[in-house]
Amino acid sequence: MGEKVGQLIDYIPQLALADPDAFGLALISMDGHRYSAGEADAPFTMQSVSKPFVYALALSVLGLDEVCRWVNAEPSGEAFNAISLERATGRPANAMVNAGAIVTTALIPDTADAPRFDRILDCLSRFAGRQLDVDEAVYASEVATGDRNRALAYLIRSTGLLPVDPVASVETYFRQCAVRVTALDLAAMAATLAHGGVNPLTGEAVVEKAVAAQVLAVMATCGMYDVSGDWLLRVGLPAKSGVSGGLIAAGPARFGLATYSPPLDPTGTSVRGRRALGALSERLGLHLMHNP
Ligand code: GLN
């Protein structure tokens, strides 16, 4: 490939085995048309791209005000794995960073007939429009190396803002990160948020319109961690990145977009994904603040 772009992550060893040259792109419109290029069918794990969708589930079950008691909605200006909570309240800054996502996952009800992870997998599958599953090797790899996230969970419990056992909540979070998708799945998931919570492929109302708007708002301000401001400035779309190389962006009432390319920049963003979505936004005038 000549030019070296980005690095494969190695803190989850199984993810370092990904093909650095793989590239897939998919777009799904509000009437369910699917457009794709490259390896849009290649499987990879969601990682942090799962966070907005589990946040959507928590908002659906508990409502915005209750969720905000546990997790705020302010950009942190910090890395995704920062060991950091709000000074005044002890809350994580937002649901897109690891600290916030661990709490969001813990907020999902856990009952005998509907265990927490089953609810999460069911919700992610509805967003994608097909039954998803877990990559057990990636899950095991993160369980073996995930002490930083365990440390975060214990820190959050010390502030009284983790409603469940720290080890259990982190294991569920690791499992949600290991849910297997393709770029086409992620485009359907982003398109569902863009379409007011209705999956444009299946017609199912996965979440309410208000919840979809709330999630897109937090993606716009916090979805790209410490490059969220720069991303909104240059690309102008709500987005979410993940360390396996997935990246989604949503054009409200227009489209869901997703890319897959594993090499990352130092912020944990797919290098080619960032370039591809940036170029598409510029060429097609997708910036939300743009006056058509
Ligand atoms: N599972 C990863 C972690 O918790 C997800 C991080 C990410 O995709 N940015 O470290």
Q: What is the pLDDT of residues 90-143, one digit of tens each?
A: 999 999 999 999 999 999 999 999 999 999 999 999 999 999 999 999 999 999
Please say whether the beta carbons of 45 and 179 come within 8 A: yes
* pLDDT of 2: 43
Atom of ligand 1 nearest to the CA of 11: 10
pLDDT given at position 210: 98
Category of 6 on φ-ψ map: left (φ > 0), alpha (ψ -120 to 50) or beta:
left
For residue 209, the model assigns a pLDDT of: 98
Cβ–ligand 1 contact at 243 (below 6 Å): yes
Give a yes or no: residue 226 inside a domain.
yes
Cα separation of 148 and 37, whole Å?
36
Question: How many angstroms separate the CA atoms of 77 and 267, rounded?
Answer: 11
pLDDT of residue 4: 63
Residue 265 inside a domain? The answer is yes
> How far does Cα 279 stand from its chain's mean position?
21
pLDDT value, residue 291 = 82
156 in any annotated domain: yes
User: pLDDT value at position 292?
Assistant: 77
242 Cα: distance to centroid of ligand 1 (angstroms): 6
Q: For residue 43, how many C-alpha atoms fall within 13 Å in the half-sphere facing its CB?
A: 8
Half-sphere exposure (Cβ direction) of 105: Cα atoms closer than 13 Å:
30
For residue 155, give the nearest of 99, 89, 98 by alpha carbon.
Answer: 99
Nearest CA to ligand 1 atom 6: 48
Residue 5 has what pLDDT? Answer: 81
Residue 289 lies in a domain: no
Domain carrying residue 173: 22-284
171 CB near ligand 1 (under 6 Å): no
- 270 in active site: no
- Residue 35 designated active-site: no
Place of tokens 């797919």: 270
Q: What CATH number corresponds to the domain at position 250?
A: 3.40.710.10
Residue 125 lies in a domain: yes
Residue 154 known to be catalytic: no
Count of domains forming the chain: 1
In this prediction, residue 119 carries a pLDDT of 98
Whether residue 239 is contained in a domain is answered as yes
Task: Point out the catalytic residue in the list 49, 50, 51, 228.
Answer: 51
Q: Considering the entire predicted model, what is its pTM?
A: 0.97
Low-confidence ranges of the chain (pLDDT < 50): 1-2
> Relative to the CA of 80, which ligand 1 atom is closest?
9
Ligand 1 atom nearest to CA at 81: 10
Q: Tell me if 7 is assigned to some domain.
A: no
User: Does 109 reside within a domain?
Assistant: yes
Q: Is 209 a catalytic residue?
A: no
Nearest CA to ligand 1 atom 2: 47
